[in-house]
Each structure stands twice: as structure tokens, then as C-alpha cells.
Chains A and B, each alone.
Chain A
Amino acid sequence: MSEFLYLYRLPADSPNMPDSARNMQERLQKWTAWFKELEARGHLRTMGHPLESGGTVVGEGGRTVHDGPYAESKDIVLGYSVVQARDLAEARAAAGGCPILGYGGMVEVRPIRQM
């Protein structure tokens, strides 16, 4: 079994905010169901955390490289989780049901270095 990091990304310019009660209800339901399924299939190691959109990037000598949530990317990272899977293909397949894909986002799947 290998471990993978899921990074939930949204393009900074996408209209990612749910704009109605129905939207929100659906989104929460989908995320909850998805996490439940990851867990049921034995993939979920840590659910991880949602991230605030604010923040800063600190460089050498403590100087601020960049204000904002991202370094060089045009994406906002909404949160992350750690999962386990046999290989990248399986981790990738398990990410396919992530609700963020339904509203313009994507999941970055990164193998966690083991040695």
C-alpha cells in the first residue's frame, strides 16, 4: 500500500461559490457521501483539512514572496486529504468521484515519498 496526497484545487477565476441554498445542500451531501465511500473502501488515512483562502508565502530571510494563497499557481487549494491505495492508478480512480470535479475544480494526486 502506498500513500497519496489529494489536493483539492479550484481555478481562482471559477465561480466556485455556491450561490443558492439548494447548491449548498447538494455540495455538502456529495462531499459527505464521497468521504464516506473513501473510508468504506479503506482508502482514507486522514481526512485532512479545508484551507482558508488567505495566507502568505515566505522566502529566504523571512521576506514575503507573495501574499495570497498560492505561490506560482492560478489555483486555490481548497483543502487536502491523505489516502492509501495500491498504486497511482488506484488512487487516481478513487479521486474520480470527488464532488469538486462537478463544479470546475480538480484533484491533484501526489504520491507521498516513502523513503
Chain B
Amino acid sequence: MTASLPDEDFFRRESGRLVSTLTRMLGVHHLALAEDAVQETLAAAVEVWAFRGVPENPSAWLTTAARNRAVSLLRRERTARRFAPEIVRLADAEGAPTESPVAHLPPALRDDELRMMFSCCHPDIPEDAQVALVLSLLSGFSAHELAEAFLVSRAAMEKRLSRAKKMLSGTRGLFELGARDFETRLVAVHRALYLLFNEGYHGASPDAAVRLDLCREAMRLVALLLAHPPAATPATHALAALMALDAARLPARVDEAGDLTELSRQDRSRWDGRLIARGLELLESSARGEVVSEYHLEAAIAATHALAPSAEKTSWGEIVELYDALLRLRPSPVVALNRAVAIAEQLGPERGLEALRSIPGTERLSAYPFYPAALGELELRCGRPADARRHFRAAHRLARNPAERTFLERRIAECERQLSSGSSPDATRPSSSKLSPRRTR
């Protein structure tokens, strides 16, 4: 018995590991049973460990307990039937719980968790369901927590999850990946982890703790890819770099009152120096290959911010160029919006407004509060607070959470202050306030 408590990711890690391992042992058609066995095992562990302390090797303890629990669940399920090969297989696995009979798979997929991750990202499963599935199966999130994180009803999240799990467990081919699928599926895995991180970083949930959890999980899962060489491609390194560099800014992103602080007004001394160093290191090792992925470009943008001593001293020209490259790779109005904001910093607000107005397909941004917010910000800087207020109000109507609303209310109040005092444009520049729009999707 040890007195020490497991670290704070312990149950997430173990939950993902056990579900993945049991699913491999039982076959994917028993996914639900594997999940039940794991949940019951972990819940029992909490009770037993509360009284007796955490055992020397908690992972081994859990593996054995989960396997036993699965056997008894299977027996219960199969009493009516005669033969249960799964039971035999599980019983045979005694003593060799992690040995995997999948030597024909690409090495990275011999790891149970990676295989699960790759399976969750099957092209037949919609992207938002892939992310939910990863968080449910590999990170131990409940449907309730996911509903909160993604601002959907609990019933809607349960439906999304159960549909995706039905697909996963009903299609043998989904779980059985060949070497040929590896590369294409890795692209989908990157995408899902990227979305997962962004949901934490810019997401809709008003609960900062929930969002921080999402970021941490994205980083844990990407580290899992890095630890398995065939999955540790340059793009994987770039994605990990992007996460580290963005996460480095998290401590400065929310002020004492819990309100969002834009990039330009953040106290840069509160950025996490270790994460920045780690991110730069990862970015450097991502430069091995010939392919420049969107993650390379986004990580390079994040690195440029991380290395700038202040918003004013940021190499905006370089950032605009990186956004240009990103637009060529992934044309999207959100990327174009980010680029326009950078142009405003580089060449002034009037040029920024021009760039904003010439974005093709702005109607796709019609539900996106940062578009009118950016218009408002730049109008304000041009000394037109009445126009600015109109845009900020439009943005406020589109705001998706209290943090965004509070932020926009402060900007509206600033417009009103300027309108009533009739102050001149150059006195009004609110510390070169730059928006930090939601990351490009």
C-alpha cells in the first residue's frame, strides 16, 4: 500500500487504457460490455482504495480487476447461451494482460489506445462525433460532461455518442485497420485532436475547468502519438508544437475576474516559459520532412507570438505571410478573418477593414461573433465609435457564452464612453487592442 494519491490524470489515463485493452481482447462488438466493466472496476477501486490506500501497482491491480469484471459480466450475459469463446480468451490472457495478438498491424496500432484512437476517427463517423467518441472512450468523460463542454443537451450528446458507438462496434472493419489505412487515418486523428484542443481553448463551455481538461487531454493524446514512431510524423510534431505554444498562453488568458483577456493585453510574464521552450523544440523537430502542413503554419504563427516581447513588437508582416500560406492550404473565411486582423496590426486599421470586407463568402461567418467584433474593433480604432458600437452589438447578439458577452459589453461601453466624451481618434486607441479570434476551423 502506498499513501500517495495517483496523479490528477490517473483515472482518465487508466479509463482509456482499460477500455482499449478490453475491447481488443473481447472484440469490438463487445465495446459496451468493456465500457461497463471498466466503469464498475474504477468505481469499485475508488471505494476500496479510499479505505485501504492505493496499491503499489495500481495499473496492474486495475487490469486484473477489470478482466475479472468483464468475465463475470460475460458469464451473466451468456448463461443462456452455451459457448463463450471470449471467456476462454480472457482467462487465457491471465498473466499476460497487455500482450497483443496483432503482430500484423503497423507497429503504432499494436498499442491498444492508438488503435482505439484511429478507430474512433473512421471517415464514416462525423467529425463532431469522432471528438466526442475519443473523449468518451479514451479520456473517461461522461455524456453529461461532454454535453456541458460542447453546449448541447445531454440527450443530444447521448444520442451522438450511442450512434457513433453503434457504428464502431457494429462494423468489424472499423476496428481492424491495415497498414494502408494508417496514413489517411492519421490525418483524421490529427484533425480530431486539433478540434478537441480548440474546443478547450476557444470553446463554448463557460466552465474554464472543463475547457482546461479538454486541452490537457488533447496534449496527452498527441503525446501518445509522439511516443509511437510511425505516428510521430512531422505533422504530429507540428500539432504538438501548436498545442504547447497555445497552452503556454493559458495562464494569462483569463484575468482575476475570470474574463477573457485579448492577446495584446495579456501579461506576457505569465506565459509558461517551459511550454514555450517545449513548443519551439517540437516545431524544430517538425521541420524534418518536406510537407508543410496546416499545423506547421499555425504553430509558426503561435511561435511568432510567443517570441514577441509585446503586441507592438510582434512581426506582423511575418504573421500575415503565414496566414497567406495557410489560406492557400486551407481556404476558409475564418483564416481570412485572422489574416485581416494581422494586416490591421501591420498596416493600420483602414487596411484591415478593407481586408475584412473583401473576404469571400462572409455569409459563412454570419453566425460567428468575431467577424462583427473585428469590424467593431477596427472602426473604433479609425475613430468611428458609432459604427463600432453597431458592430459590437451585432457581435453581442451572436455571442455564445458569458465570457464572450462580458468581453463585448466592455467594448460597447468603451464606444459609448468615446461617444459621450467626443474624444479624438488618437486618444482612443485602446492599447492597440487586438482581437484574438477563435482559431481557424
Contact check, A35 vs B142: say whether CB atoms are below 8 A apart: no
Contact check, A47 vs B49: say whether CB atoms are below 8 A apart: no
User: Which chain A positions have C-beta within 8 A of B363?
Assistant: none
* Distance (whole angstroms) from the CB of B6 to the closest CB of chain A: 8
Cα A48 to Cα B145 in complex, Å, equals 33
Q: Which of A15-23, A63-71, A82-90 contacts B (4 or more CB under 8 A)?
A: A15-23
Q: Is B256 an interface residue (CB 8 A)?
A: no
User: Which chain A positions have C-beta within 8 A of B46?
Assistant: 18, 24, 27-28, 31
Give the bracket for the number of chain B residues in contact with chain A: 20 to 34
Contact check, A35 vs B144: say whether CB atoms are below 8 A apart: no
Q: Is A78 an interface residue (CB 8 A)?
A: yes
Closest to B143 in A: A19
* Distance (whole angstroms) from the CB of A49 to the closest CB of chain B: 6
* Distance (whole angstroms) from the CB of B131 to the closest CB of chain A: 16
Q: Which of B8-16, B289-297, B346-354 contacts A (4 or more CB under 8 A)?
A: B8-16
* Distance (whole angstroms) from the CB of A85 to the closest CB of chain B: 20
Contact check, B12 vs A21: say whether CB atoms are below 8 A apart: yes
Contact check, A31 vs B50: say whether CB atoms are below 8 A apart: yes
Known contacts A25-B8, A25-B10; is-contact A78 B47 (Cβ 8 Å):
yes
Contacts across chains A and B counted by CB atoms under 8 Å: 69
Q: Is A50 an interface residue (CB 8 A)?
A: yes
Contact check, B213 vs A18: say whether CB atoms are below 8 A apart: no
Q: Which residues from 3 to 35 on chain A have a C-beta closer than 8 Å to any C-beta of chain B?
A: 17-25, 27-29, 31-32, 35
Q: Is A79 an interface residue (CB 8 A)?
A: yes
Q: Which residues from 20 to 55 on chain B have a C-beta closer than 8 Å to any C-beta of chain A?
A: 39-40, 42-43, 45-52
Known contacts A24-B42, A25-B8; is-contact A32 B50 (Cβ 8 Å):
yes
Contact check, B47 vs A50: say whether CB atoms are below 8 A apart: yes
Cα A18 to Cα B50 in complex, Å, equals 14
Contact check, A24 vs B47: say whether CB atoms are below 8 A apart: no
Which of B11, B39, B141 neighbours the largest number of chain A CB atoms within 10 Å of its CB? B11
| Residue-wise interface mask of A (30-52) relative to B, using a CB-CB cutoff of 8 A (1 in contact, 0 not) | 01100100000000000111100
Which of the residues A21, A49, A78, A79 comes within 8 Å of B11, measured between beta carbons?
A21
* Distance (whole angstroms) from the CB of A98 to the closest CB of chain B: 11
Cα A19 to Cα B6 in complex, Å, equals 18
Q: Is B5 an interface residue (CB 8 A)?
A: yes
Closest to B11 in A: A21
Q: Is B140 an interface residue (CB 8 A)?
A: yes
Known contacts A28-B49, A47-B51; is-contact A21 B5 (Cβ 8 Å):
no
4 pairs of A and B residues whose beta carbons are closest in the complex: A21-B140, A31-B50, A20-B142, A21-B11
